[in-house]
Structure 1
């Protein structure tokens, strides 16, 4: 597949689906404003290792191997309402 007309650039597209094992570390806090209403903030860091990709376009002299780390951070915030305080 080629890029925009006249640019001479090549575009590569692909997808892969698999199951990876890794580790995660996180924490959070929750504060109660009233008996029924609270707010929370959570943080999670995950690391699923390194993935290796073979880059092989039509022109053989551009072949190569790419590696990337699969990791990320997730921050969540929320408000909770408790319908019963029993």
Structure 2
């Protein structure tokens, strides 16, 4: 993953890393009737930390950025 962002004051944020990680999650599905079901799912994904560089007027430095992903999904299904 390679990321680069620019800010209005001229600062830039950049970093790159090959992402590998892990995920865990689960879900529930409930029959509301013979043809209708409702479900909820959750998944946590972690790709570790990425080295980033911030540079611009009055600021610069290297840091580590950690961005775990929390994914929540809900759904309603009709079965024919």
More strand by share: 2
How far apart are 1:56 and its partner, in Å?
3.1
CA RMSD of the aligned region, Å?
A: 2.7
Q: Distance in 2 between matches of 1:29 and 1:13?
A: 43
Residue 71 of structure 1 is aligned with which of 48, 68, 77?
Answer: 68
TM-score normalised to structure 1 length: 0.69
Larger of the two Rg values belongs to structure: 1
Q: Distance in 2 between matches of 1:44 and 1:13?
A: 31
Unmatched 5+ stretches in structure 2: 1-5
Greater RCO, CA 8 A, separation 6+: 2
